[in-house]
Amino acid sequence: MNDSILMQIRQFSIIYVLLLLVLLVMKQCHIDRTKQLLFSSFKMTVQLMLAGFILTYIFGSPNGIFTALYLAVMVGFAIHRVLNQNPGLSLRFKVIIALSILVSGLGILAFFVKVVVRESLLNPQYVIPLGGMLLGNTMNSLSLGIKTFRESLSGQRARVEALTCIGAKAENILRPFLLQGMETAMLPTLNNMAGMGIVSLPGMMTGQILAGSNPMTAIFYQISIMIAICTIVTVSSFAALYFGCRTMYSKENQLITL
C-alpha cells in the first residue's frame, strides 16, 4: 500500500472555496441561511481543530486518565444533546435516558475494544475514535426516536385520553408510540447498512484507506463498527423508551403524565 499523503495547511484551506458554491446555490434559491452556514462551518472547524490538538497530545503521551476523561466528556455531551433536543421530560425519564446512553455506550465499546480488537480499554488510538462513532450515532438516533415518540403521543392526545377513560392499560396505550419511536431511531442506521459498499464508501473505511491501510482490513473494521452501531442504537433506544414509558404511569397502570 502507498503511504498516505500528508495534507498541509495551504492544501487544507483550499477546501473552503467549495463553500462559495454552496452560497451561490443558496442565493439562487433564496435560502436565507448564509449566517448559519458560515457560523456552522466556523464552529465545526474550531471544534475539530481543538479536538485535533487534544488528541495529538493524548496519542503522543498515552495516559489512561486522559483517555477516560475524554471519553467521559463525549458521554456527557451526548447525554446533554439528547436531553437538550427533548425538553420537558420528567427527571426520572432524563435519568433513564442518561443511563441508557452510559451503560449501552460503555458496555458495547468495551466489548468492541477488548474482545473484537483485543486492545487495552484505555488505549486512546482505539477507544476515542470508536467511542466517538458509537456515541455520535446513539445521540442522533436516540434524539430522533424520543422526539418521534413524544410528537406522535402528543398528536394522539384525544385518542389516548379516550382510551384512558374507558379503562385501557397505560402500558398498552403507550406501546404503539414506543414501537414507532424505536423504528424511527433504528431506520437511519438500517438504511446506511443497506447502502454501504454500493452507494457509498463509509467514512471510517475511506479514512483508513487514505491512511494507507489494506482495503480488506478497512472493510473488516467498517463491518464491525456498523454492527456495533446498530446494536448500541437498538439497545439504548429500547432501554430509554421502554423504561422511560414506565415513568409515565402509576403502579396501577394508569397514565400520570403525557
Please choose, from the candidates 89, 126, 96, the residue with its C-alpha nearest in 3D space to the C-alpha of residue 221. Answer: 126
- Per-residue pLDDT tens for 133-178? 999 999 999 999 999 999 998 888 778 778 878 877 888 888 999 9
Q: Are 236 and 100 in contact (CB under 8 A)?
A: yes
- State the average pLDDT over residues 51-67: 87
Residue 166, all three cell numbers:
374507558
Distance, CA of 112 to chain centre: 17
Q: Are 202 and 222 in contact (CB under 8 A)?
A: yes
Dist. CA 58–CA 54, nearest whole Å? 6
Q: Which of 88-92, 174-178, 211-215 has the lowest mean pLDDT?
A: 211-215
What residues pair up with 200 in beta bridges, in sequence order? 196
The phi-psi region of residue 32 (left if phi > 0; otherwise alpha if psi is between -120 and 50; otherwise beta) is beta
- Residue 64 confidence (pLDDT) above 90: no
Torsion of CA 220, 225, 226, 227, to 10 degrees: 90
